[in-house]
Structure 1
């Protein structure tokens, strides 16, 4: 009787067992693996599975080890930790504060912009929220910012990590959905920038309606002035105009220059021209500021020089890393490695690279990489047994009852991810939930790139939602829990209550939901630039058709002389390939 019941409801019992195991606090990686192994053995005992069910499981695990895409995670993590620990956040925030602090809400806008830059360089929510909480929250409280607004701005800017490349969420999402990381990054750029603009517009409008909530910085706090007492913004504005002109000039001459360099006609796509133009403009600003400092010409104000040296190097690094990935020049793994090397060079150039910093960065990177690898192995074991039991069919039947077709499915999935995101880490959701939903989305004809971006935005929203949002917990860990005396103003600053953090994040949760709704209603915002068709003229088609075929006789002769030139005849050496050794031993075993 019990055996019949378990056989009939094998998949839901397996799924509920996993949920119960996770709710008891059992480690996620081991809970996934234990559930998969126990129910796999149980299925073999009940004759639901063949006795050799787990025979190919070691090959799956070796396949995980050989997944080059996952190498991007430790590389981008190392890049972000080095940039964050080398003082980039402090330099950027101080410079942005000098630039925008004269207007109401300027400091909040600076926090959002710096948070976006940190998000684009670190890819880790906790690092951004904790850094901004330690650096910017005391400054905002010192100058009279409303606690709810200060808390909301910091948590919202930290949560931008989920939607702005090179987000670790997008790397894992692309791997689980079977899509290109470069396409996922390119698709996330539009919604991420839209969200950033909406944040800034909201802050500006709120500063106009409630000026006492976000006062301007006092004159004595804006110390970056020229010898005549001017702010130095005119000099910075002229530099921006000159570099913008150089960038547009390069964009117009790009194809001609490339044709001269490579001695053949060049017709680069618009996105490649835009990225190279931004890099040229940024390098021009850095070169001009460096020459001005060395020669002592005095053409740039102290504010302009500080702005260039604090902002341009990390921006150039981000452009190089993401640009090479977008343009297909480098894989995400190669881009991440280049970013890690670039971060080391920047930290060394600023004389902030110490053995202690490097040791902490490598240790934290190794911990995160091991954490991800164990969860991925556990989820592979679980999904192996779950798929063998036709669990994907059970999931499809569950969603068949939801009305609305594709839209109903996406809304239901968004609601589920939203709730889970307040309790589970995004790695756990990506490795457990996303593989279960992907076959259903694929069968409904949903674009998986768009589907992944929606999930990332919903996860970002859940990270901000009280009372269990991870970003709120990170800020709570560094926000003052008791009254303290500010070391600069010598005034007593009241503590930040948990309810104030919750209330401040609620404003930005509404903005998040607005962007999620826009992305769901207008999928072309995500997929518009991805599915490009290549148009060929009639002459180009005829040229391809009339191209002579290779000489097959000479090809056969070359293969006879060199067997390794034929991939079907080549004999792969198994001496150094663990997968090949394991496969050979399995084939030869009786």
Structure 2
């Protein structure tokens, strides 16, 4: 009977989450019940040490710093300036606005990594403009939602920080390994828009000539430099310091947080009220992540204390599972779980369970981490609980329906799945750059 306890606990967590109980309380509460049943009162002597180890994890200090950086940049107005400038730069082409949304989404991902803020900002700025110029609602909403979630895979990504911590992989290596997949995903989005502009030109008209002429008269190069140089400087400061080996990811996050404050000051948007608002939102988001992390730490302690990881590995070995088959099962399971639960829940519940099995198979955990990040990105887009779709629907005009959002996101989910298969078939997409830069 004891060998089934870890899986009963795992099932209990999933059932309670689907019923609607809060994630952190579910993880913590179920873990306490099963921990007492397994270890007795001694469990309460083990748990504080485990939580203290999590709270003092140096790598996880990057989470509040990256959140602060993203929220501060949201207040700076940089995103709005980028969107306006990119829209006019690409406006002469069919699909130019859609292309600008994708590129701006990639730039914001590399400088903020906050998905909700990016989707809301681009939805408020771009969606009315795209609909006004005759863009098909499905194409417009799909492009904005997919581009807004690029912060999940393009560094500095909080998802990569959390995955690196759980998989015990260097966060710097995770950032480097995710660079090429992120660039390829952006390229695939751009190619999709170009192809659709040829196949369905009526779905994405170009910007009228009079608007482009007016933009060209008003010192466009000054506007372009201001719009691009500022976020690029921050990206270079954060990612460049990591890739060059000058700073650890946590130190680079501190650089990014300070740099975001300087850029907001340069934009003349920094004030005590803005700083107070940013700190309040950062505290709220950080507390949410860490209270879930505390519950997940308790869950992991009990699961491993009941030898759940060893039992699972033995079951897979006895079933003669090949690493490829186990990987396929995990990827399909994570993708399906993304329809119903949040990416943080998946990271803290599923990943600690499967990571020891991948280690036993001798699989490169850096490769697994980037695969999981790419897979988890789809969880923001898949109905019925795709958070990017919720964010976008909340700021959409009334004529944009939920059906438009669901139909519009399908091609981008397909693109992500194709990219996922490519990374599985060609692991070098992930591993080549870290090998070149770090010699791992």
5 Å-filtered alignment, 1:110-189, equals 110-189=100-179
Counterpart-to-counterpart distance in 1, 2:382 and 2:13:
25
**What SS is found at the alignment partner of 2:435?**
coil
Change (3 A) 1:76 1:395: same
After TM superposition, list the pairs within 5 Å mapping 1:169-568 onto structure 2.
Answer: 169-226=159-216, 302-397=219-314, 399-400=316-317, 405-481=322-398, 495-531=399-435
Higher helix share: 2
Q: Cα distance, 1:402 vs. partner?
A: 7.0
In structure 2, C-alpha distance between the alignment counterparts of 1:113 and 1:127, rounded to whole Å: 16
Q: Which residue of structure 2 lines up, in the alignment, with residue 582 of structure 1?
A: none
Distance in 2 separating the partners of 1:21 and 1:210: 45
Determine if contact 2:88/2:215 at 8 Å carries over to the other structure: no
Question: What is the alpha-carbon distance in structure 1 between the residues aligned to residue 438 and residue 171 of structure 2?
Answer: 21
Distance 1:106 1:115 in 2: 14
**Cα deviation, residue 530, structure 1:** 2.1
Q: Secondary structure at the match of 1:149?
A: helix
Give yes or no for contact 1:224–1:303 (8 Å, CA) kept in 2.
no
SS of 2:385's partner is coil
Counterpart CA distance in 2 for 1:402 and 1:115 is 44
Change (3 A) 1:141 1:180: same
Structure 1 residues 364 and 529, CA, compared in 2 at 3 Å: closer, same or farther? same
TM-score, length-scaled by structure 2: 0.95
Match of 1:27 among 22, 25, 32: 22
Secondary structure of 2:69's match? helix
| Structure-2 residue corresponding to 1:233 | none
Q: Which residue of 1 aligns with 2:13?
A: 18
Aligned residues: 439
**TM-score normalised to the size of structure 1?**
0.72
Q: Alpha-carbon deviation of 1:91? A: 0.2
1:422 CA drift (Å) = 2.4
Per the alignment, do residues 40 and 219 of structure 1 end up closer, same or farther by CA in structure 2, a change over 3 Å counting? same
Q: Equivalents in 2 of 1:431, 1:340: separation in Å?
A: 26
Structure-2 change in CA distance of 1:450 and 1:8 (3 Å):
closer
CA contact (8 A) 2:341 2:385 kept: no
Contact 2:342 2:379 in 1 (8 A): no
Three-state SS of the structure 1 residue aligned to 2:245 is coil
CA–CA distance in 2 between the matches of 1:65 and 1:467? Answer: 33
1:125–1:471 contact (8 Å) kept in structure 2: yes
- Structure with the greater alpha carbon radius of gyration: 1
Distance 1:177 1:118 in 2: 26
In 1, the alpha carbon distance for the partners of 2:144 and 2:321 equals: 37
Residue 85 of structure 1 is matched in structure 2 by 75
CA–CA separation in structure 2 for the residues paired with 1:109 and 1:188: 22
Q: CA 1:203/1:68 → structure 2, altered by over 3 Å: closer, same or farther?
A: same
2:58 is aligned, of 65, 68, 74, to 68
Match of 1:42 among 37, 40, 49: 37
- Residue 117 of structure 1: CA displacement? 1.0
Structure 1, unmatched stretches of 5+, are: 46-50, 228-300, 482-494, 536-590
Any idea what the Cα deviations from partners look like across 1:256-306, whole Å, max 9, x if unmatched? xxxxxxxxxxxxxxxxxxxxxxxxxxxxxxxxxxxxxxxxxxxxx711111
> Residues of 2 paired with 1:156 and 1:475: CA distance?
11
Distance 1:198 1:81 in 2: 28
Once the two structures are superposed, residues 489-512 of structure 1 have per-residue CA deviations (whole angstroms, 9 ceiling, x without a partner) of xxxxxx011111111101111111
Q: Say if 1:17 and 1:190 are closer, same or farther in 2 by CA, change over 3 A.
A: same
- Compared CA separation, residues 78 and 8, structure 1 to 2 (3 A): closer
